Amino acid sequence: MGVNKFDMRSKKSKIDNHGLCLNEYKNNVNNAKVYFNRSIGKSPEMETSKALADLLKKKIKNNDKILDVGCATGHFYRSLKNRINKKFYYMGVDPYEIFLKKARIAWKNEKNVNFKKGNIYKLPFYKNEFDITFCSNVFIHLNDVIKPLKELFRVTKKRIVIRTVLFDVSYKVQLVYNKKWWGDTDVSPINEFDKNGNPRAYSYFNILSFDYLIQNIRKIDVNCKIKIIKDNFFDKKKIIRSQNSEKRPLATKIIGNEQISGCILQPHYFVIIDR
């Protein structure tokens, strides 16, 4: 997720130098409120954050430094705190100040918690600064994942966990915004696409193939160990309740045993990389 100097109050499309349209999050007051309520305990923990905390808790040692890439308001920290009895340090990084302001309010009394503005294409940290790094629901929204992968490896010593959507083949998918249903765009339905057929305001909802992701991980570190686990660690009823209460466009819903966004099936997996 990119960071550029734009007038974030404008509804005009903001495309950063990584090919990402910032209109998904830059003024997303509703999402900021949803994430903040999860952080302070007003809303239930995410099923995903609970599952990720369970995956990490046996690996974390006293005084480990943990990085959350794409942290929003730091709501994943709540699940870590509730499940991990050891002392650890948490750093959240996110490109959107609208989320970071809420994060600093939510966790102002936590001395082991810090937040920094930055993006996954150039993380503002030193080599091997963190013992464990996790990144949930970020890769799906990226135009390209190679540089982000390299950045995760650069700043991490022991374990990287990526939660994203995987399948046997890759799909490049763009959700196209218009002002009829999305508040932070001035694009009318009739003008969704420019004369070259490119969307004017959009976000990526990409699906990567197992082979593509695994082979590119191996290219960065041939000796790392990779484990892929299907994210079936959720209570359907709780996700349905969140969908009804949060009232977010295209919020996750469940059909059968799969998670769905809009009309897109999203088979999520945890990719666990040990170095």
Q: How far is CA 57 from CA 9, 67, 84, 225, in A?
A: 40, 14, 6, 18
- Looking up residue 231, the CATH number of its domain turns out to be 3.40.50.150
Structural domain contains residue 115? yes
Closest to 39 in 3D by CA, of 69, 68, 77: 77
Q: Mind listing the pLDDT tens digit for each residue in 58-69?
A: 999 999 999 999
CB-count burial class (<10 Å; 0-12, 13-18, 19+) for 257: exposed
Structural domain contains residue 246? no
Q: What is residue 256's predicted lDDT score, i.e. its pLDDT?
A: 84
Q: Could you tell me how far CA 252 lies from the centroid of its own chain?
A: 14
pLDDT confidence tier of residue 71, bands split at 50, 70 and 90: very high
- pLDDT of 16 strictly over 60: yes
Structural domain contains residue 131? yes
- pLDDT of 77 strictly over 80: yes
Instruction: Look at 55 and 8; give whichever has higher pLDDT.
Output: 55
- pLDDT of 3 strictly over 60: no
Q: What is residue 9's predicted lDDT score, i.e. its pLDDT?
A: 57
Q: Mind listing the pLDDT tens digit for each residue in 116-161?
A: 999 999 999 999 999 999 999 999 999 999 999 999 999 999 999 9
Give the chain's domain count.
1
3-state secondary structure of 190: helix
- Tell me which amino acid residue 177 is: Y
3-state secondary structure of 19: coil
Domain that holds residue 212: 22-238+269-274
CB-count burial class (<10 Å; 0-12, 13-18, 19+) for 128: middle
CB-count burial class (<10 Å; 0-12, 13-18, 19+) for 264: middle
| Distance of alpha carbon 134 from alpha carbon 181, whole angstroms | 32
DSSP 197: S
Q: Mind listing the pLDDT tens digit for each residue in 232-267?
A: 988 777 777 776 776 667 778 888 888 888 889 999
Structural domain contains residue 14? no
Q: What is residue 242's predicted lDDT score, i.e. its pLDDT?
A: 73
3-state secondary structure of 51: helix
Helices of type H across the chain: 29-40, 47-56, 75-83, 97-106, 146-155, 210-220, 236-246
Backbone phi, psi, residue 77, to 5°: -60, -35
Contacts of 238 (CB under 8 A, 6+ apart): 44, 47
Q: Mind listing the pLDDT tens digit for each residue in 171-227?
A: 999 999 999 998 889 999 999 999 999 999 999 999 999 999 999 999 999 999 999
Structural domain contains residue 2? no
Helices of type H across 84-231: 97-106, 146-155, 210-220
Structural domain contains residue 257? no
Q: Mind listing the pLDDT tens digit for each residue in 211-223?
A: 999 999 999 999 9
| Distance of alpha carbon 132 from alpha carbon 59, whole angstroms | 9
Q: What is residue 246's predicted lDDT score, i.e. its pLDDT?
A: 63
Structural domain contains residue 261? no
Q: What is residue 212's predicted lDDT score, i.e. its pLDDT?
A: 98
Closest to 228 in 3D by CA, of 253, 251, 201, 209: 209
Structural domain contains residue 184? yes
